[in-house]
Amino acid sequence: MSVPVSWYLALSAVLFGIGAIGALTRRNGISIFLSIEVMLNAANLSLAAYARQFGEHTGQVIVFFVLAVAAAEAAVGLALFIGVFRGRRTIDVNRMNLMQH
């Protein structure tokens, strides 16, 4: 039997939630970024699922582009982490509070 699309969607929702929780709770910047990747994947999954549901390509195309975006984001983000680490020797976001609030 074929799996109902809503199951995929539910899975994606749960994955998204897990990612969000991770992004909100980790202290290590890169871990946060990893969690965000989980969220992106969750979104991708639901896009693919919807594409399947409608039987057309749009969802897949979006996923395709998101892959590229994720790559670009990762490049810039990781470069940033390197830059920050160079100055501060840490990527713990809890310690990134030089600024007056």
CB of 90: closest distance to other proteins in angstroms? 8
Cα 81–Cα 23–Cα 66 angle in degrees, nearest 5: 75
Q: Hey, which residues between 3 and 32 contact other proteins (CB under 8 A)?
A: 3-32
* Contacting residues for 79 by C-beta, under 8 A, at least 6 apart: none
CB of 7: closest distance to other proteins in angstroms? 6
CB of 89: closest distance to other proteins in angstroms? 9
Q: Hey, which residues between 31 and 70 contact other proteins (CB under 8 A)?
A: 31-70
CA atoms of 2 and 14, how far apart (whole Å): 21
